Structure 1
Amino acid sequence: MKILSVSTATNQLSVALNDGQKIIVEKNEQDQRNHSEHLDPMIDQILKDNNLSLKNIDRFAVAIGPGSYTGLRIGITTVKMFASILNKDVVGISTLEALAKSADTDGLIVAALDARNDNYFAGGYVTNENQVLQNVIPDGHYHIDDLISAINEYVEENDTKKVILLGNDLNTQNKFNELKTEYQFGNSDQNVLHAGLIGQLAENAPTVDPDELLPRYLRRTQAEVDWHKKTGKPYGSDSDYVEEV
């Protein structure tokens, strides 16, 4: 199964072509803010280099969040369009699950993205006996104190001896010293999103109708909050995937 995967969730742009679990090629651009300009040319180059066209792709996959509001929309809109026009499978993968996939450990994997002011988009994962990631601390928007509490609760209940923390700049957060077990930070390669890993997760993930592929922001945008305060109207049904903070 040929899978084309995309991540525009963070300031790194990543695109990959997989043949099932095998990553054929992955291209990455670091610290780019103009994903809308670079995504299509990157996809086009990968296809040309492998003598393929979009019609040869069996499944499209994308990181659906959390992450940059604008970035997520770019990637999701692109794969929705491809899947809809070509009548192909499409899969949405949690940004945090994709980040956790880069760690090979028998401990607890905590994937986190900075949400500012000591808040993080974070989730906890473990690899089960079938080598499948399980989400054991729900993906969510956490203040650092709540995240530490959630990790310590899991550690104590499951007698976990090791925690790996994945995500850029987590090593600047001193609060992790309050963890009640041994922990380590991911390396530079583990701390960024890789589209090839999204492709691996997508091979056995459930597909969705392209129209139902929505971003998972995990918190409301400031514009939504301001609109709600100004109008007093309830949030629309199209934002059911957003979690209030």
Structure 2
Amino acid sequence: MNILGIDASNNGLLISLKSNNDIYYMENKEKNSGNYIISMIDSLLKKNNLNLENIDLFGCTIGPGSFTGIRISIASIQGLLFNTNKKVVPIISTELIYNNYNGDKNKKIAILKKARVDAAYVHIFENGKTIFEPNLISINNLKNIIQDSILLGEESLFFKEKLKLNNETIQYVLSPNSIIEYIENNYYKAVSPKDLKVLYLQKPLAVENFEKKNNTKIDENTYN
């Protein structure tokens, strides 16, 4: 089975390809790396003598993480697969990090990701299961929420230093294989590209500003 996965929820962009049981990838750490998604996919496929029709299953991160990167990657995959019967596995970025961590999963582990200046995305696991669903947590409440947790992920050190936390911290960087493994393990969750939705844990700032300015509320389906 040929599989292609996109992760633009972190700093930069990672595209993984599985073909003939081998893993290939392309990575871009530039600030506006999301703008290169389509060209990078095209390049990766051509290097391996493949096209979109040859890919059996796709995967794309839907959050939590960078709004811009996630929205661009979803829009890109929807455009590329428009009017096809291809399926896409929605990837929860915090699950992706946890599932491919090889340490002791019996312990309480918190995945932290940057949100706004005054908040963080938090997902907590213990004994291999979620005990705190992905949520947006104020910086003021973060220390209590993650107490006794091991902090896991690239951005964990940022929060440790910012809040002077005593938590054990493990900086875990995703490998290209991680995305492919997640897609394979969650193939049954695959959806049509048009049904791929952003995992919104907070409203986009533009939406919040519009609501305040016009004293109104916008339904989530309008901007997703």
User: TM-score category by the smaller chain?
Assistant: 0.7 to 0.9
Tell me by how many angstroms 1:239 deviates. 5.6
CA distance in 2, matches of 1:200, 1:148: 32
CA distance in 1, matches of 2:223, 2:142: 23
Q: Any idea what the Cα deviations from partners look like across 1:60-116, whole Å, max 9, x if unmatched?
A: 111111222221111001122333333111111112222333421123332222224
Of residues 49, 59, 63, the one that matches 1:61 is 59
Tell me the number of residue pairs that the alignment of Structure 1 and Structure 2 aligns. 218
**Contact 2:12 2:33 (C-alpha < 8 Å) held by counterparts:** no
Any residues of structure 2 matched to 1:100-119 within 5 Å, and which? 100-106=98-104, 107-119=107-119
CA distance in 2, matches of 1:127, 1:60: 29
**Contact 2:23 2:176 (C-alpha < 8 Å) held by counterparts:** no
Structure 2: which amino acid aligns with 1:142?
I
Unaligned runs of 5+ residues in structure 1 are: 129-133, 156-161
Alignment partner of 1:229 is 2:212: yes
**Contact 1:6 1:195 (C-alpha < 8 Å) held by counterparts:** no
State TM-score, norm by structure 2: 0.84
Alignment partner of 1:136 is 2:131: yes
Tell me by how many angstroms 1:144 deviates. 3.3
Tell me by how many angstroms 1:23 deviates. 5.7
Structure 2: which amino acid aligns with 1:65?
G
Name the residue aligned to 2:180.
Answer: 199
In structure 2, the CA distance between the partners of 1:230 and 1:8, relative to structure 1 (3 Å rule), is: same
CA distance in 1, matches of 2:103, 2:140: 25
**Contact 1:3 1:199 (C-alpha < 8 Å) held by counterparts:** yes
**Contact 2:86 2:192 (C-alpha < 8 Å) held by counterparts:** no
Q: Secondary structure at the match of 1:35?
A: helix
Name the residue aligned to 1:159.
Answer: none
Alignment partner of 1:163 is 2:163: no
Tell me by how many angstroms 1:19 deviates. 5.2
In structure 2, the CA distance between the partners of 1:114 and 1:121, relative to structure 1 (3 Å rule), is: same
In structure 2, the CA distance between the partners of 1:88 and 1:127, relative to structure 1 (3 Å rule), is: farther
Structure 2: which amino acid aligns with 1:27?
M
In structure 2, the CA distance between the partners of 1:208 and 1:223, relative to structure 1 (3 Å rule), is: same
Name the residue aligned to 1:33.
Answer: 32
Name the residue aligned to 1:158.
Answer: none
In structure 2, the CA distance between the partners of 1:120 and 1:57, relative to structure 1 (3 Å rule), is: same
**Contact 2:24 2:176 (C-alpha < 8 Å) held by counterparts:** no
In structure 2, the CA distance between the partners of 1:237 and 1:74, relative to structure 1 (3 Å rule), is: closer
Unaligned runs of 5+ residues in structure 2 are: none
Aligned residues: percent identity? 27
State TM-score, norm by structure 1: 0.77
In structure 2, the CA distance between the partners of 1:239 and 1:121, relative to structure 1 (3 Å rule), is: farther
Name the residue aligned to 1:147.
Answer: 142
Name the residue aligned to 1:185.
Answer: 170
